[in-house]
């Protein structure tokens, strides 16, 4: 595999923009791809905002911020990722869309480029099967918010090569993250544990007739969580959480994995958490 200098990030939503941010901060050139210039500009604005907050708080020099921002280009054309050494996919969690994208990436990218997916709950092996070079496909699973959460799960799919796998670890370390190596099993490490736990929390809301505020207080004050479960699910996205629960339930058939009806109803009503302005809480 080539040494990684340029990273492509496909999908510049909350996760993709966060991944692009940590990549430019680590000195990588980044080509970020979104489907419209409006979404490209929104992501660049979000990244600029968070980097400027770091400058204001004395965590980053103004020159370093400007240099980092200068390393980011955005595009709506997937072909512009042709020169990337590593591409990290962070698009919608739909297998069909990811299969189509990876087939396209294989056509566009150099043969020695590593192709990574940030999927939360889909199978990296299934995604890799969209290509005829599955050995270069790995999972690089970041946590939300990507600029703040130190962990990256580096996921070895059935046919991933040692080279591609180690490239993922090296890049994560250079980003200042802590990589954990794991195999491609449903939910990998953290979500395998966290998803059923969050679903239990949501069930407790009704069982114990406790408010979201009090449940959050209980888990932050009583269990030392940095953030209460309702705040966390709002941050991750109600739709993202429901989708990940359904995907894990489909594979593992464990009742605790299944999304509780309450949260499915919220998703169906368009209460998606922070990003829609309303979930368990209301946001400005």
Residue 268 annotated as catalytic: no
- In DSSP terms, 118 is beta-bridged to none
**Applying CB under 6 A, does 143 fall inside the site for ligand 3HC?**
yes
Instruction: Report the residue from 42, 69, 99, 145 that binds ligand 3HC according to the rule CB under 6 A.
Output: 145
Instruction: List C-alpha distances in Å: 190 to 158, 193, 281.
Output: 20, 5, 25
Residue 120 annotated as catalytic: yes
Residue 123 annotated as catalytic: no
Q: Annotated catalytic residue: which of 34, 153, 199, 241?
A: 153
Q: How many CB atoms lie within 10 A of CB 58?
A: 7
Q: Annotated catalytic residue: which of 106, 118, 123, 141?
A: 141
Q: Supply φ then ψ for residue 11, to 5 degrees.
A: 95, 110
Nearest approach in angstroms of CB 35 to ligand 3HC is 21
Query: Which two three-digit tokens encode residue 245?
Result: 């629960």
Mask of contacts with ligand 3HC, 237-256, x by CB under 6 A? ---x---x------------
Instruction: Report the residue from 75, 144, 161, 185 that binds ligand 3HC according to the rule CB under 6 A.
Output: 144
- The residue (of 48 and 145) whose beta carbon lies closer to ligand 3HC is 145
Instruction: Report the residue from 147, 179, 186, 260 that binds ligand 3HC according to the rule CB under 6 A.
Output: 147
How would you class 19 by CB atoms within 10 Å of its CB: exposed for 0-12, middle for 13-18, buried for 19 or more? buried
What CA–CA distance (Å, rounded) separates 216 from 151? 23
- The residue (of 53 and 107) whose beta carbon lies closer to ligand 3HC is 53
**Applying CB under 6 A, does 140 fall inside the site for ligand 3HC?**
no
**Applying CB under 6 A, does 24 fall inside the site for ligand 3HC?**
no
What CA–CA distance (Å, rounded) separates 90 from 217? 32
**How many chain residues interact with ligand 3HC (CB under 6 A)?**
18
What is the CA 79 to chain-centroid distance, rounded?
Answer: 22
Instruction: List C-alpha distances in Å: 28 to 131, 133, 163.
Output: 26, 25, 19
Nearest approach in angstroms of CB 158 to ligand 3HC is 21
Q: Which H or E run contains 207?
A: helix 190-207
- In DSSP terms, 8 is beta-bridged to 31, 87
Mask of contacts with ligand 3HC, 207-226, x by CB under 6 A? -------------------x
Q: Which of 220, 239, 234, 242 is CA-nearest to residue 283?
A: 234
**Applying CB under 6 A, does 102 fall inside the site for ligand 3HC?**
no
Residue 118 annotated as catalytic: no
Instruction: Report the residue from 227, 250, 261, 283 that binds ligand 3HC according to the rule CB under 6 A.
Output: 227
Nearest approach in angstroms of CB 17 to ligand 3HC is 8
33, 80 Cβ separation under 8 angstroms: yes
Q: How many CB atoms lie within 10 A of CB 261?
A: 11
Q: Which of 227, 6, 103 is CA-nearest to residue 215?
A: 227
Nearest approach in angstroms of CB 143 to ligand 3HC is 4
Give residues in contact with ligand 3HC (CB under 6 A): 18, 50, 53, 120, 143-145, 147-149, 191, 194, 226-227, 232, 236, 240, 244
Active site residues: 120, 141, 153, 191
């Amino acid at each position: 595999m080539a040494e990684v200098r340029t990273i492509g990030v496909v999908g510049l939503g909350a996760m993709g923009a966060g991944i692009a941010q940590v990549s430019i901060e680590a000195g990588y050139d980044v080509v970020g791809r979104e489907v419209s210039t409006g979404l490209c500009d929104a992501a660049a604005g979000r990244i600029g905002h968070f980097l400027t907050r770091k400058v204001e708080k004395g965590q980053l020099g103004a020159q370093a911020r400007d240099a980092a921002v200068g390393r980011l280009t955005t595009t709506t054309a997937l072909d512009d990722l042709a020169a990337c050494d590593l591409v990290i996919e962070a698009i919608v969690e739909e297998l069909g869309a990811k299969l189509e994208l990876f087939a396209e990436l294989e056509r566009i990218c150099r043969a020695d480029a590593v192709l990574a997916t940030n999927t939360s709950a889909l199978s990296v092996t299934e995604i890799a099967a969209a290509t005829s070079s599955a050995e270069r496909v790995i999972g690089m699973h970041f946590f939300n918010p990507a600029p703040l959460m130190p962990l990256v799960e580096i996921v070895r799919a059935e046919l991933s090569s040692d080279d591609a796998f180690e490239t993922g670890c090296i890049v994560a370390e250079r980003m200042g993250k802590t990589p954990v190596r794991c195999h491609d099993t449903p939910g990998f490490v953290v979500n395998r544990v966290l998803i059923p736990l969050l679903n239990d929390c949501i069930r407790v809301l009704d069982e114990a007739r406790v408010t979201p505020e009090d449940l959050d207080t209980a888990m932050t004050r009583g269990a030392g969580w940095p953030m209460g479960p309702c705040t966390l699910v709002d941050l991750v996205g109600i739709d993202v959480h429901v989708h990940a629960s359904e995907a894990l339930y489909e594979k593992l058939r464990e009742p605790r994995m299944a999304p509780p009806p309450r949260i499915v109803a919220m998703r169906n009503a368009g209460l998606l958490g922070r990003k829609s302005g309303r979930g368990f809480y209301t946001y400005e």
